[in-house]
Amino acid sequence: MSAPRRGGPARMEPAELEAFLAEPRWAGLCLEDEQGRLRAVPAWIAGGHVQGDVEVTVPAGALPAMDPAPACLVADRFESYVGIRGAILRGRLRPAEAGDEQWRLTVAKAHGFSFANTTVSL
Amino acid sequence: MSAALPPDVAAQLDGHRDITLFCRDADGHPIGYPMMISSRDGADIVFSTYRKSAKVRHIERDPRVALLSFTAAPAPDGGELVRWISMTGTAAVWQPTEAELDRVFPPAPRTADGRVPDTVGPLVRQRTLEGKRILLRVRLDEPDAVRIEEGRR
């Protein structure tokens, strides 16, 4: 359970983050393309983990074939204000198989946040 | 007012205010944050955030950002359809005057969001005037070229 605090969102405990990532969901994926520009696309996470690799599926044609690159995956759920949960995973993205839809993010940094115990002091 | 967006893009952004903002961390690598659009004026999109947040530091160091808006729904034949708008732009940290704040974040929000308690809007305004919160204004690159894309899984 995340600790109560005033102001902004609390950091998720590792077990909470693991449970959040285990739920399949769409997320936002961003990397730097070969021209050095940020490029963001939707990505489906079938179920991820804090440690290790997260397999993601992007719509066909959304990402060009490219060498492994630093990337960030942002997954969140916003059904109510106190129900806001999210995860920010950063690491290195590489193709998981032939084609342009299956990718693998090797997670180097994982951060989860929760508004569950946040006082609305903003 | 900045340049206009295509009407279907503008309608999606105005009707679905959840969005992901990506910038670069201290190493120059992508890092992202879920956000809610506070207001939009043509190709200028405005967000509210804490003055001391990490994203503000990142954007002050490098204002180049990407934005992603998406919605997903079950496809009639199975799977899921996803519609998205991928944008890039330049962000500016903006400490608005009260008059400016009235324009971009009116005292009575134009679009109520049932997920957000009524107390949040006035608190955001107050904290912004106190300088604890600021606005991020993203001016989109090539607004004429922004389009809705569709795919499936």
Per-residue pLDDT at A117: 67
* pLDDT tens by residue, chain A, 122 residues: 444 445 567 888 888 898 998 899 999 999 998 888 999 999 999 876 767 899 999 999 999 888 889 999 999 988 777 778 899 999 999 998 877 899 999 999 999 988 776 655 55
Distance from CA of B81 to the nearest CA of A (A): 9
Question: Strands, DSSP E only, in chain B?
Answer: 18-24, 30-36, 39-41, 44-50, 64-74, 80-94, 133-140, 149-152
Report how far residue B107's alpha carbon sits from residue A122's, in angstroms, rounded to the nearest whole number: 16
Report how far residue B37's alpha carbon sits from residue A99's, in angstroms, rounded to the nearest whole number: 34
Residue B66 has pLDDT above 90, yes or no: yes
Nearest CA in chain B to A120: B120
The CATH T-level fold of domain A5-115 is Pnp Oxidase; Chain A (2.30.110)
How far from each other are the two terminal CA atoms of chain B, in whole angstroms?
38
Residue B118 has pLDDT above 90, yes or no: no
Residue B135 has pLDDT above 90, yes or no: yes
Reduced 3-state DSSP string for B71-99: EEEECCCCCEEEEEEEEEEEEEEECCCHH
User: Structure pTM?
Assistant: 0.91
Per-residue pLDDT at A69: 93
Per-residue pLDDT at A85: 87
Interface contacts (A, B; CB < 8 Å)? 112
The DSSP call for residue A5 is: B
Alpha-carbon radius of gyration of chain A: 15
Reported as a single tens digit per residue, the pLDDT across B10-41 is 999 999 999 999 999 999 999 999 999 999 99
ipTM summary value? 0.91
The closest CB to that of B120, out of A59, A71, A120, belongs to A120
Half-sphere exposure of A97 (CA within 13 A, CB side): 6
Q: Do B152 and A70 touch (CB under 8 A)?
A: no
Nearest CA in chain B to A93: B30
Query: Sign (positive/negative) of CA torsion A77, B47, B42, A72?
Result: negative
Q: Which residues, in sequence order, are bridge partners of residue A94? A: A104
